[in-house]
Amino acid sequence: MRAVVVSEPGDPDVLTVAEVPEPVPGPGELLVAVGAAGVNRADLLQRAGHYAPPAGAPAWPGLEVAGEVLAVGPGTTAAEPSAGSPWQVGDRVAALLPGGGYAERVVVPVELALRVPDGLSTLEAASLPEALATVLSNLRVAHAVAGETVLVRGGSGGVGSVAVPLARALGLRVLATAGGPDRVERVRALGAHAVLDHRSDDLVARVLAETDGRGVDVVLDVLGAGALADNLAMLADDGRLVVIGLQRGRRAELDLGLLMAKRATVVGTMLRSRPAAQKAAIMADVRAHAWPLVAEGTVRPVVHATYSFAEAASAHRELESGAVLGKVLLVP
């Protein structure tokens, strides 16, 4: 089968289409014909040589796909206690992967698979598994509850554009950041109660104004070091900062006095490197509490652009440009 592989660590031009062995589904697994694969920042890091795939995962990138079931591995029914009726050839599926999504076919553990509802396209479905799992699991890490206020840093990105409607649907008051008036309006249309322009606003002052001086209960942050001081300043007492990305670096000074005074919590998480049992639990939570919101149309992804496998380098450049609103996808 064809896959987009990394010939050597480097810039986007190292992505090439090559023939690789077709996977074979084992017990509790599905063989899926890929209709579309999501492009994530983790893929950019892997391509550059900074994020090796976990043991046992394919060497090529790709953390989420959607497509059609081609074959069902032995013992699959017994291995999927929460997925409803048994999987069958021809079923539409979206899935979270440890890697290997940039291929014509993938093998998916059923615990990480989601049935694609009617009315959701393959492109839309491929945009969701990674973002939904990331957002929901980190709202759980933050112990966010309905009525609290969450700040989504990067509300126009692949994760942020899902975080905004999902957090609102779960009963949170949602503030978000975006760059420039057009992106601000588009993120507001996703359901944010207020959107701050990080290019022109004084973010700390605006957040405090939007919260009557109290600050936010939770910050979901994709920026990392460069945003640490502002994030801490914007937290309310007993607030929780969850770092889920490092777009602005990995090292920064932390004002421990302010952290202590606010009784604040700072936690960092990664999804890809979690043990299989934890990923299965996260996807069960997605299946139970987020996927129904997708099926009813309350949460919908934003597809920015699609590229063919042969255009994978262009897809990576697009994501690196910072101009993406929503998700970039690859199609075989």
Q: Running along the chain, 332 residues long, what does each successive block of 10 average in pLDDT?
A: 97 98 95 98 95 92 98 74 75 97 97 95 97 97 97 94 97 95 94 93 92 97 91 97 90 93 95 92 97 96 96 97 93 97
153 neighbors 177 (Cβ within 8 angstroms) = yes
Q: Report the Cα 170 to chain-centroid distance in Å.
A: 17
Residue 323 has φ and ψ, to the nearest 5°, of: -95, 0
Q: What is the model's pTM?
A: 0.93
Q: Pairing relation of β-strands 235-243 and 216-221?
A: parallel
Nearest CA to 26 among 83, 110, 105, 92? Answer: 110
Residue 117 has φ and ψ, to the nearest 5°, of: -75, 160
C-alpha distance from residue 147 to each of 139, 150, 167, 244, 305 (Å):
13, 10, 11, 22, 34
Question: What's the pLDDT score for residue 37?
Answer: 98
Question: What's the pLDDT score for residue 246?
Answer: 86
C-alpha distance from residue 151 to each of 228, 245, 326, 328 (Å):
13, 15, 17, 23
Q: What is the mean pLDDT of the chain?
A: 94
Question: What's the pLDDT score for residue 81?
Answer: 47
In whole angstroms, give the CA distance from residue 107 to residue 71.
9
